Amino acid sequence: MASRLLILADTHLPKRAKDLPEQVWDEVDAADVVIHAGDWVSVDHLNDLEQRSRRLVAVYGNNDHGELRERLPLVARAEIDGVRFAVVHETGPAKGREDRCSAEYGDVDVLVFGHSHIPWDTTAESGLRLLNPGSPTDRRRQPFCTYLTAIADAGALRDVTLHRLPPRTPAPRSGSR
């Protein structure tokens, strides 16, 4: 049986946005498994995602402290429909990433990571697939806020799709017309 995945990272709530975009919450509702690669910032956000997700695989990031670090691991591992995943927030510089991660995570099929807010989808010579969904709330130097969806099915990862979110409309400033 196939599993629909939602892959997130770097949500930074409520610092970068007050909430996830409605499109992302719709994906949470549709997903069999939500994977989050850290930088939650708010324990409330973790609570909301845990409550709304059928299954959550998640780690803490460099901006997560206190209760988030108590409740979440630095590295999470999960097998989903025969696909072996590892999730971590940081992987270091882009140069040499595939080789470095292959050496450290050679026992998995897919490594999900965050931190950079830059979408990434490569496959190392070792066969390790590396995925970074970007951020659904903080695009940094990217043209769009983003997230990933995919299907895990009988040991294969398929239909990996990067979704671009429409620009947020800023709230009107008080006194403006």
Q: Which of 14-23, 71-80, 103-112, 124-133 is predicted least confidently?
A: 14-23
Q: Which residue has the tokens 């983003």?
A: 146
The pTM of this model reads 0.93
Reported as a single tens digit per residue, the pLDDT across 57-77 is 999 999 999 999 999 999 999
Question: What is the per-residue pLDDT across 104-120, written as a single tens digit (0 to 9) for each?
Answer: 999 999 999 999 999 99
- Specify the pLDDT at position 177: 43
* 75: nearest Cα among 97, 59, 91, 93: 59
Question: What per-residue confidence (pLDDT) applies to 66?
Answer: 97
Which of 175, 174, 176, 144 is CA-nearest to residue 162?
A: 144
CATH class of 3-165: alpha beta
- Residue ranges per structural domain of the chain: 3-165
Residue 172: pLDDT above 70?
no
